[in-house]
Homo-oligomer: A and B are copies of this chain.
Amino acid sequence: MKMSTELLLRERKSLIQDRLRTDGRVLAADLAREFNVSEDTIRRDLREMAAAGLCERVYGGALPIAPDAGSLSERATLAPGRKAALARAAVGFIQPGMTVFLDAGSTNLAIARAIAPDLSATIVTNTPLIASALMEKPGLDLILIGGPLDRAVGAAVGARAQRDVELLRPDLCVLGTCGADAEAGLTAFHFEDAEFKRLIASRSRSVLAAITSDKLGTAAPHTVIGIDAASTLILEANAPEAQIAAFTAHGSSVVLAGECAG
């Protein structure tokens, strides 16, 4: 037999990637059962995906290349240098006395860590890990958005959290983002997360997003806001000229993070 027609190879790989993102891992045996193919086929898929840098092969299955969900703290250690540079550029936008919403995301965790210990400001976040990190900055007032935690996102993004947000009018919203494209705008992997981001962004005086280069030109399934709704985009120094031009054409100001590690 061949090609079951039920699922194209590409579809299957795409679904496997989804599972990796949401579950933080996949088991070869599980996938074989779920897709009605032999484990050999799944193993082949995983091997190819690993070769393409899309996942990490391990005995029994595979893990995301950036181990997310499970160990959130590890995502931040992924590309520390690059994220740190972005973070340094981003904290410059947080002025004393401001009220700032810090969205979920590993880049935003890096931003939280980069905040000066004595900065006096009010930070609102829906992400426990970011709140924990901020607890070590004595100058900050912290407000936690509560509700059921979405473990794919690592934050509270549901109806409960949205209701809390409706009482807020932050001076600045620092959005985490899963994809950024001039046409598609800022996008997210998860529906509720996108909904939440859209809400908080719409209520903020200005919107900022720090975006690693690997997300440029990509679009995740769910739209958050158009590029024109983002006041400022912080990109890495190696961002393609074309992308930068496309973003500025939409009215956003683009800041390039310092290239040097220092």
Contact = CB atoms under 8 A, between A and B. Distances in A.
Interface string A116-145: 000000000000110110011010011111
A8 to B, nearest CB: 5
A149 interface: yes
How many residues of A sit at the interface, in one of the four size bands?
35 or more
Interface in A55-96: 56, 58-61, 63, 67, 69-74
A63 B129 contact: no
A154 interface: yes
Interface in A11-42: 11, 14-15, 18, 21, 23-25, 27, 29
Nearest to A22: B73
Contacts of A58: 8-10
Among A14, A70, A145, A164, which residue has the most Cβ atoms of chain B within 10 A?
A70
Interface string A143-166: 111111101001010000100100
A63 B7 CA distance: 12
11 contacts: A3-B59, A11-B25, A14-B70, A21-B73, A70-B136, A129-B135, A135-B151, A142-B148, A143-B147, A144-B148, A146-B146
Interface of A: 3, 5, 8-11, 14-15, 18, 21, 23-25, 27, 29, 56, 58-61, 63, 67, 69-74, 128-129, 131-132, 135-136, 138, 141-149, 151, 154, 156, 161, 164
Q: Which 10 A-B pairs have the closest CB atoms?
A: A146-B146, A128-B131, A128-B128, A142-B149, A10-B58, A144-B146, A129-B132, A128-B132, A145-B146, A143-B148
